[in-house]
Amino acid sequence: MSFKERVFAVVRGIPRGRTLSYKEVARRAGNKKAYRVVGNILNRNCDPEIPCHRVIRADRSIGGYNRDVKEKIKLLKKEGTILV
DNA sequence: CGTATGACGTGCA
DNA sequence: GTGCACGCCATAC
C-alpha cells in the first residue's frame, strides 16, 4: 500500500458536502508532512473514481484542478460543499 | 538509482 | 492585505 493509494482511499472516503485540505488528507493518509505529495499525486493521477475536487487548500482556496478550476468550483457549489 | 517536480503550508517583508 | 521565498515528502522520469 503506497502513500498514494492511501491518499486515494481517503479522498474517496470524503462525504459529499464536505471538503478536506491537502494537509488533512495527508494526515489521514498517515503522513501529515506529505501534504505536498497529495496534490502532486492527484495532479498526476486524477482518477474519475476519486472526488479530487473535494480536496482544497488549507486556507479554503481552490488551489487548482486537473481540468478547469471553474469546473471544480462549479462541482463544489453544485454538491453543496462547504466552501467558506 | 538519482534528479527534478509539484493541485501545499507557513513565515516574513 | 498581498507577494515572495523556503521547507518537506513521495511520485514520476
Give the pLDDT band (50/70/90) at residue A83: low
Distance in angstroms: CA A73, C1' C1: 24
Find which nucleotide's C1' atom is closest to A35's CA: B8
CA dist., res. A49 & res. A10, Å (int): 12
Q: What is the share, in percent, of chain A residues with pLDDT greater than 70?
A: 96
Is residue A52 among the annotated active site residues?
A: yes
Residue A45 in this model has a pLDDT that exceeds 90: no
Range with the lowest mean pLDDT among A32-46, A49-63, A69-83? A69-83
List of E strands, A2-71: 20-21, 55-56
The grid coordinates listed for A84 are 467558506
3-class secondary structure, A64:
coil
Percent of chain A topping pLDDT 90: 68
What is the model's pLDDT at position A62?
A: 92
Q: Which of A11, A41, A52, A55 is catalytic?
A: A52
Pick the CATH number of A3-78 from 3.40.190.10, 1.25.40.80, 3.30.1300.10, 1.10.10.10: 1.10.10.10
Any atom of strand B under 7 A from CB of A73? Answer: no
Helix pair A22-29, A3-12: axis angle to 10 deg = 120
Query: What does the domain layout of chain A look like in residue ranges?
Result: 3-78
| Per-residue pLDDT band at A33 (split at 50, 70, 90) | very high
